């Protein structure tokens, strides 16, 4: 049994004109002291998945189906009292954009002490203050700075404070939602090093949410690739880099800048993620996929396992775990057109896509519908 088992999680938001299913059947595990990356383009449901795990969805959101087992206990079914005791002390979260969420008129030390006093009634004020000092030193801040105010800290230091706050109740799992976005690369590297250190020293399990694959490769053991509210592929980071099976995973991999080839722009993914209010039928990636077939447009691909822990949902992957080449597949005209844009097997660069005016606002590739080019 893994420490965290997310099973068939479905999250919906009520909107004035209807309902949006932001997370649709997400399944993955996080083992003790394991770091798992949650990756995908903006709007694919990463934050929503994290908030659902924490049961901290906004008012218009709800978990419509599925379970979140933490140490075998289902957080989805848990009553508010026991849930409050578990939250922060067993699992905690560093929110997206958190470093700007510190209260500007309260000393940072008091803010970090607050969850300790709130969730651990046996700890005295003095004990909490002492623990804040230890936490500050753990995350690389001098304990004398407990009395300072947020404006006296740089962005990177404020993020360290937020990490200290997430660790305040000694949780076993921490979710970091884009913990290094908005920080410059040097500070980003320091924060990632810190997270890695905490993981090895405290045996912390971690879910790291990011759209930056280089962050995942440096920090995580495994990754869950999400597309439009669903899981496209899951596997060890090494396996996903070495042998991505889902065409979307491979596109994501190729969208990372190549430091050895500075004259070449990283390849983009043509089009945009679809609207989740009316997502595409079948495989949601089919309007952007150069492997798409008629079956992709009709049927959602069932998830299958290949190597232990390597799971993928894609019709182009054969039963022996090989992704067939577009030339072996009965492609949709749209996929053929996409493949033609990319005759050497490489996707067009961002420049090519933009210059050719290929990307339309609705997420389809301009001039290419599932029926093919006009």
Ligand X SMILES: Nc1ncnc2c1ncn2[C@@H]1O[C@H](COP(=O)(O)OP(=O)(O)OP(=O)(O)O)[C@@H](O)[C@H]1O
Report the interface residues with ligand SF4, using CB under 6 A: 246-248, 283, 285-286, 289, 291-292, 296, 301, 314-316
Per CB under 5 A, the segment of 31-39, 46-54, 211-219, 332-340 that binds Mg ion is 46-54
- Residue window 48-87: x/- pattern of binding to ligand X, with contact defined by CB under 6 A: x---------x-xx--------------------------
- 28, 29, 45, 231: residue in contact with ligand X (rule CB under 6 A): 45
CB of 92 to ligand SF4, least distance (A): 34
Q: Which residue, 22 or 267, has its beta carbon nearer to Mg ion?
A: 22
Task: Tell me, by CB under 6 A, how many residues bind ligand X.
Answer: 18
Q: Which residue, 167 or 289, has its beta carbon nearer to ligand SF4?
A: 289
- Residue window 217-256: x/- pattern of binding to ligand X, with contact defined by CB under 6 A: ----------------------------------------
Per CB under 6 A, the segment of 24-32, 41-49, 142-150, 189-197 that binds ligand X is 41-49
3-state secondary structure the chain: CCCEEEEEEEEEEEECCEEEEEEEEEEEEECCCCEEEEECCCCCCHHHHHHHHHCCCCCCEEEEEEEEEECCEECCCCCHHHHHHHECCCEEEECCCHHHCCCCCCCHHHHHHHHHHHHCCCCCHHHHHHHHHHHHHHCCCCHHHHHCCHHHCCHHHHHHHHHHHHHCCCCCEEEEECCCCCCCHHHHHHHHHHHHHHHHHHCCEEEEEECCHHHHHHHCCEEEEEECCEEEEEEEHHHHHHCCCCHHHHHHHHCCCCCCCCCCCCECCCCCCCCCCCCCCCCCCHHHCCCCEHHHHHCCCCCEECCCCCEECCCCECCCCCECCHHHCCECHHHHHHHHCCCCCCCCEHHHHHHCCCECCCCCECCEECCECC
Ranges within 66-125 binding Mg ion (CB under 5 A): 96
- Residue window 257-286: x/- pattern of binding to ligand X, with contact defined by CB under 6 A: -------------------x----------
- Among ligand SF4, ligand X, Mg ion, none, residue 358 binds (CB under 5-8 Å by kind): none
- 6, 9, 20, 161: residue in contact with ligand X (rule CB under 6 A): 20
Contact between 180 and ligand X (CB under 6 A)?
Answer: no
Residues near Mg ion (CB under 5 A) are 47, 96
């Amino acid at each position: 049994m893994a420490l965290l088992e997310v099973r068939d999680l479905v999250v919906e938001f009520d909107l004035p004109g209807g309902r949006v299913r932001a997370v649709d059947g997400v399944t993955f595990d996080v083992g003790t002291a394991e770091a798992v990356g949650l990756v995908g383009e903006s709007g694919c449901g990463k934050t929503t998945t994290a908030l659902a795990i924490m049961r901290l969805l906004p008012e218009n959101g709800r978990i419509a189906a599925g379970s979140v087992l933490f140490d075998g206990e289902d957080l989805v079914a848990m009553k508010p009292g026991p849930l409050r005791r578990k939250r922060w002390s067993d699992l905690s979260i560093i929110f997206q954009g958190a470093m700007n969420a510190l209260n500007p008129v309260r000393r940072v030390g008091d803010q970090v002490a607050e969850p300790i006093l709130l969730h651990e009634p046996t700890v005295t004020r003095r004990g909490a203050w002492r623990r804040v000092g230890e936490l500050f030193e753990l995350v690389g801040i001098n304990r004398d700075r407990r009395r300072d105010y947020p404006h006296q800290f740089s962005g990177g230091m404020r993020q360290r404070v937020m990490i200290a706050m997430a660790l305040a109740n000694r949780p076993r799992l921490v979710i970091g939602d884009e913990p290094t976005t908005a920080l410059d690369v040097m500070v980003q590297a320091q924060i990632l090093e810190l997270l890695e250190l905490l993981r090895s020293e405290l045996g912390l399990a971690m879910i790291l949410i990011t759209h930056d694959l280089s962050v995942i490769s440096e920090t995580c053991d495994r990754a869950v690739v999400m597309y439009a509210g669903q899981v496209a592929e899951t596997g060890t980071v090494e396996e996903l880099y070495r042998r991505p099976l889902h065409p979307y995973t491979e596109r994501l991999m190729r969208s990372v800048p190549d430091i050895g080839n500075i004259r070449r722009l990283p390849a983009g993914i043509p089009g945009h993620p679809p609207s989740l209010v009316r997502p595409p039928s079948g495989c949601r990636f089919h309007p952007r996929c150069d492997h798409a077939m008629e079956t992709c447009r009709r049927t959602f691909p069932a998830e299958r396992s290949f190597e232990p822990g390597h799971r993928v949902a894609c019709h182009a992957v054969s039963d022996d775990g090989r992704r067939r080449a577009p030339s072996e597949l009965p492609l949709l005209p749209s996929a053929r057109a996409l493949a033609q844009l990319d005759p050497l097997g490489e996707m067009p660069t961002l420049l090519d896509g933009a210059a050719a005016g290929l990307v339309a606002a609705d997420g389809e590739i301009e001039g290419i519908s599932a029926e093919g080019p006009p």
